[in-house]
Structure 1
Amino acid sequence: MLQRQGIEVVAEAPDGHTAVELARKLAPDVAVLDVAMPRLNGVSAAHEIRRASAGTRVILLTALEDARFVPDALRAGVRGFVLKAQGADDLLHAIQEVCRGGLYVSPGVSQAVVDACSAAGTPIPDRLSERERQVVQLVAEGKATKEIASLLKISVKTVEFHRGRVMEKLNIHDTAGLVRYAIREGLIAP
């Protein structure tokens, strides 16, 4: 459908890390990412893509009308939010608007975006850093500490530090709690 509208799909990625590498290599005009991508969620991948390929605009797809991720996504440079249930036409409109330099929000998620941005002005003591969110996502996906260190190109000690800091910030005492948090916050799909 997109190709009939003059949009060329240059690549598809099974996970966030691959999406970042492809964006770095291909420098597409637009990257469409799923919020709940494995290995590196859509918000974290958007942040990395904007650093690796500054000209690439990012659109996030979400299955949820819950938009708690929106303030972080906006800080990461995301220019569009599309609710998967809205269909292909909505994605097409988002791509066209973002290519024109605009911001696009699906009608089904717009109120949640406004609510999330309004709430973002209130200080949240347990707000996680980008790296902490990445570690939580990978822990929740069942990755071992050494594997997380390798994926993120950091030391095992640094992974342990981030995991401990997250657990302290969120008052979580076990891995199951981290998994529940990751699901609740949309870092991984349930």
Structure 2
Amino acid sequence: MGNHIHLLIKEEKEALEIIMRRIGASYVYWYNLKYNRYGHLFQDRYKSEVVEDESYFLTVLRYIHQNPVKAGIVADAANYNWSSYNEYVGKRAIVDTDFALRIYSSDREKALESFKRFHWISSDDLCLDVSENKRLTDKMVVEIIKQKCRVNHCSEIQSVEKDQRDRYLKFLKEEGLSTRQDARLTGISRGIVLKA
């Protein structure tokens, strides 16, 4: 966990890209100032997935809270300083805990009991798990695109029907291709690659 963070963000007025850009820029500015350094701090673009229902929301929340325990950093989620877990069970500061707790019950005490019980359930949930994958070279990516998308040249994906193109792009993301690499090799704009 020394190389990544997990955020569960409700997208309302601003797009996730803008929110993450602001968080990233603010943190990099602070970090560079504090440690008297310059330049980039993050290796890759953030990874995200949509949480579409309450059940999965609670699963993701538990996954985030159990992550330091599974990583062997602490024995109990309550002992991890950088987690929102204690805001749910204790003093609230910056996290909107009401949304999650109301899923359990409108009675706050009952909701807290259910919340704690659910978080103590051991699970093997993998919610956009971060792995230490080796970066794919352009040559490797070109071969993946040609093989999986059944094209002779990567740029041919541009002329494929929109729905099929988006299925290809989504598949390529799942294969581990970065958005930049995907956009550069296919000639499709980053915005389209991101939305696929």
Q: So what's the TM-score if we normalise by structure 1?
A: 0.30
Which is greater in Rg? 2
Highest RCO, 1 vs 2 (Cα 8 Å, sep ≥ 6):
1
Q: So what's the TM-score if we normalise by structure 2?
A: 0.29
Greater per-residue strand proportion? 1
